[in-house]
Amino acid sequence: MGDSGTNGSHSVAALPTSPLLPIRTPRKAPADDPTSDGEPVTPTARLMEPIYIVVTLGLGCPVNLPVFSAGIAAQLARYPRFCSIQVTDESNGGNPRWVRTVVNVDDHTIVPTLDPVAVAADPDGAVEDYLASLPALPMDRSRPLWEFHFLDFPTSEATCTAVIRVHHSLGDGTTLIALLLASARSAADPTRLPAMPEQPARTGAIYAPRPRSKGGVLPFLAWAWSYLVLAWNTVVDVALFAATIAFLRDPHTPFKYVDHGAASSSRRRFVHRSLPLEDVKFIKNAMDCTVNDVLVGATSAALSRYYFRKSGVPITPAKYVCALSSLSIQDQ
């Protein structure tokens, strides 16, 4: 599968791998100057070095690239992290810093040229193959670490597919989704933000407050014991976390394949499954919960069944309930 850029953008496969750019910056930027260079990269962002966030959007019509580029330049590209690059600071022990740069949106807009035979034979598979290749491809560090890829051919679910790849140091998934929504505009009125539905009130049985117990010694002991158990479990979790950092290793599971003590180099990929929204809402109404609860519960059950099937452990009701408890539906 080959790909090449248009509108001045480069081929994805041809993006060079370059170290952080050496540059001298002030140790501290003036607090009253938001455009000053030299804000240090946080330790958390530095830990995200090899991690990318890849988001797929199915569109109902082809993208008008000039209009899209103008909108991105006016909205998304003005945010500090989206117009900055990471550089090393020689005066501060080589620690990376965020430095503002000029953004050319065309450099971040990529329209790949895929194998027409593969696309015609299986367009959905071509999209999945392209998505699977993105995490292994480096990004050009002389530019801000974000890209928009447009697969301009129809699939079974969309007329055009947009793929957003962002380096994890720019933010987490929730932050980036909020930023993307803040950069969007209503189709009916381009001057205002898209309207978002209000968060529904949670009135199901699992959200009902616990009834207060009557006074007495036994209820007080039960209340005190629950807090002691919580404190003990917290201490154990912290101790295991510290031990894992120091010398323990994660167990071998189907999600972490290890061959002869060395991590396997085999490729991993994620495929998607579409669910009718009507079915999800039917379960939501029956369970008196939210759409997010249904999706998290279905994902938890699928991961549990996959684990037991791949590990060869028979699924018993007790084990299945235990697995679902460890991957329980949580309020997101």
Q: Which domain range does residue 73 map to?
A: 21-183
Mean pLDDT of the region 116-144: 90
Mean pLDDT of the region 43-71: 86
Q: Which of 126, 155, 183 is the last residue of a domain?
A: 183
- Percent of the chain scoring above 90 in pLDDT: 22
With both helix axes pointing from N to C terminus, report the angle between 277-287 and 291-311 in degrees, rounded to the nearest 10.
100
Strand locations in the chain, DSSP E?
21-23, 39-40, 52-59, 84-89, 95-100, 109-110, 146-151, 160-167, 258-259, 262-263
With a cut of 80, say whether residue 323 has pLDDT above it: no
Look at residue 253 and tell me if it is in a domain: no
Q: pLDDT, tens digit, for every residue of 261-308?
A: 444 455 667 677 788 889 999 998 888 888 888 999 998 888 888 888
| pLDDT band at 204; cut points 50, 70, 90 | low
With both helix axes pointing from N to C terminus, report the angle between 317-326 and 291-311 in degrees, rounded to the nearest 10.
130
Residue 235 pLDDT: 96
Total number of domains in the chain: 2
- The neighbour count for residue 31, using CB atoms within 10 Å, is 7
Residues 6+ apart with CB under 8 A from 79: 179
pLDDT winner (highest mean) among 44-58, 89-103, 235-249: 235-249
Report phi then psi at 239, rounded to 5: -65, -40
Look at residue 238 and tell me if it is in a domain: no
Q: CA 129 to CA 155: how far, in whole Å? A: 13
Average pLDDT, the chain: 77
DSSP class per residue in 3-18 = ----TTPPPSTT----
97 contacts 89 by C-beta, under 8 angstroms: yes
Active site residue 260: no
Same domain, 161 and 27: yes
Between 210 and 53, the higher pLDDT residue = 53
Among the options 149, 168, 252, 272, which is catalytic? 168
Q: The domain spanning residue 29 has which CATH number?
A: 3.30.559.10
pTM, 2 dp: 0.66
